[in-house]
Amino acid sequence: MANIANGYLSINLDKNSELNKHKVYELVKHLENNNLFKYEGDCEVIFDEEAREINLDFTGKWSCDYCWDWINNQISDINNDEELSFESRMLLLNSEIIGGSYEYGTQYRDRIYKKNGSNKLEIYNHIKLESGWPEVLEIINAYDLKEYDSQIFDNSVEISLCEKSVDSKYLFKIVGGVGGFITLINKESNHIEFFCDMDSFTSKESIDEILKGLKSGDLVQEEKPEEWYGNGELIDDLIGNIDKFFELE
């Protein structure tokens, strides 16, 4: 089975033209029954007549690219594979469309936008979800924490600066809903000198103790930082919704 992506859309109908409710409900019904919008899930569509908004929560296969392609086909001047009536297509064309999709923890998020009258969606992809921990901690200013202090970041991820040294080594404990780990980072070189799942960590939370343990062989790094099971989820929690990291495709 393919991975399941979650998508959301807000279709803001043109408020300056007469509302053809029959064509709105035709569009709603087509979206609800469109298999591209309900892969291994449901497409939930709500029409708010007073606000002139159609709001969707839906699922896509692997990503929601097929859904964006479907919308583009309905509003394109080329009219490839259009499935809607002319009037329903005009509803989409003359609407402002805002939305996005993601699959939590897989380094994939996007956002889409279309202004009223435009015949193509603008697609913005997140460009930082594959970053390593030295860069992620830089992005959220975790290196500015005071020694021995903790801070709760987005989505209840707690980051503690256990210790820092005069030669730019930082020892962090990072805990979120998916789990946590201890890591020793050389900020000057952006190199991870030690990384360990919190449940497997047997040493003291001390830079000297970790370095001594590594040198003596009493402390062993059993997995590579990039292979830790919870990276995708925690990085998504911390930087997944930062606006400036979404770039136009």
User: What CATH number is associated with residue 61?
Assistant: 3.30.70
Domain with 43, as residue range(s), is: 4-127
Verify that 116 and 206 share a domain, yes or no.
Answer: no
Closest among 40, 11, 120, 41 to 73, alpha carbons compared: 120
Q: Which of 97, 127, 157 is the last residue of a domain?
A: 127
pLDDT of 1 above 60? no
Verify that 97 and 205 share a domain, yes or no.
Answer: no
* Phi, psi (deg, nearest 5) at residue 56: -125, 140
Burial of 89 (0-12, 13-18, 19+ CB in 10 A): buried
The answer to whether residue 228 sits within a structural domain is: yes
Output the average pLDDT for the chain. 94
Closest among 234, 213, 202, 233 to 106, alpha carbons compared: 233
pTM of the entire predicted model: 0.91
Verify that 68 and 98 share a domain, yes or no.
Answer: yes
| pLDDT at residue 81, as a whole number | 63
The answer to whether residue 247 sits within a structural domain is: no
**CA 24 – CA 88 distance, rounded (Å):** 7
Tell me which of 221 and 157 has the higher pLDDT.
157
The answer to whether residue 72 sits within a structural domain is: yes
The answer to whether residue 32 sits within a structural domain is: yes
* Torsional sign, CA 70, 14, 57, 65: positive
Q: 179: pLDDT confidence band, cut at 50, 70 and 90?
A: very high
* Residue 182 contacts residue 171 (beta carbons within 8 Å): yes
